[in-house]
Amino acid sequence: MVLEREKILGRVSKLLRMARGRANEHESAVAAATAERLMREHQIEQSEVVLEDLAHGAAIEARDAGTWRRCPEWQGLLAVATARLFDCEVERCEHAQLDGHETLRFYGYAADTIAAKWTFEYLVEEIGRRFDRFCEERGIAENERRAALRDYRMGAVHSVLVTLAEASAAKLAQQAHPDPEGACSALLAQRKAAAIREIFGDFDYAPTPLAEGSAEAFLHGRRDGSRIKVRRSIERDGARPAIDG
């Protein structure tokens, strides 16, 4: 019975990796549906699949987000906070295909790196979208936008970092709770961190203070940034960010 369950766990793990991998859309959908059916039929929890992957050194990967000549500091700050929320590590490094360019590389369990990348890109795009709306509402001319963007972005990042820190603190509080769900969540986080260290080594983050501002754009950025809500959720096919804007 135990061997049969281990065999099914292995198959589910393989199917989910296929669903998240480079298969075409149809193959990914079929793989995800088959994995979900097997998990439902055999009462397999997502945490069991993750632990199975980690036990066999599978599904730990690196995933790139963004391309710049030089990564903006504010995006680096968002990436570090996002990585922490999704049990990942992140670093700024040379782009693999473009000489003279940088990227942000998330390291972690495959589903977590997908969620971290999605969330990071969403936050960057949402800050830009809200800035455009701010400029339209106040009739800010094109030649004045650069200075306004710097201040607005700084304010928005201040607030988003607070939101991400609160979500991470809630996750840690849940892991510290002495119930089965908390113990399982804590075990997963520990196993993921150990697997990342084993494959990619240790990561060190130097504290980077974010400047304060008082301009109108900064204050509106803080207000709008506080309205971007991100919470961490785990679905059967992996970690996906649940986002409310």
Residues in the chain: 245
Lowest mean pLDDT among 137-151, 169-183, 187-201: 169-183
Averaged pLDDT, 235-243: 41
| 16: pLDDT strictly greater than 60 | yes
Instruction: Please tell me which residue, 14 or 153, carries the higher pLDDT value.
Output: 153
d(CA 217, CA 145): 10
How much is the mean pLDDT over the chain?
Answer: 84
Q: Which residue has the tokens 């679905």?
A: 235
3-state helix, strand, coil in the chain (%, to 5): 65, 15, 20
pLDDT at 122: 93
Q: Residue 144: what pLDDT?
A: 87
Contact 86, 108 (CB under 8 A): yes
Q: Which one of 99-108, 110-119, 185-194, 235-244 scores highest in mean pLDDT?
A: 99-108
Q: How far apart are CA 142 and CA 25, in angstroms?
A: 41
Confidence of residue 231 (pLDDT cuts 50, 70, 90): low
Q: Is the pLDDT of residue 237 over 60?
A: no
Give pLDDT, residue 228. 92
Instruction: Note the pLDDT of residue 239.
Output: 42
DSSP state at residue 144? G
CA atoms within 13 A on the CB side of 108: 28
The burial class, CB within 10 Å (0-12 / 13-18 / 19+), for 101 is: middle
Secondary structure letter of residue 143 according to DSSP: G
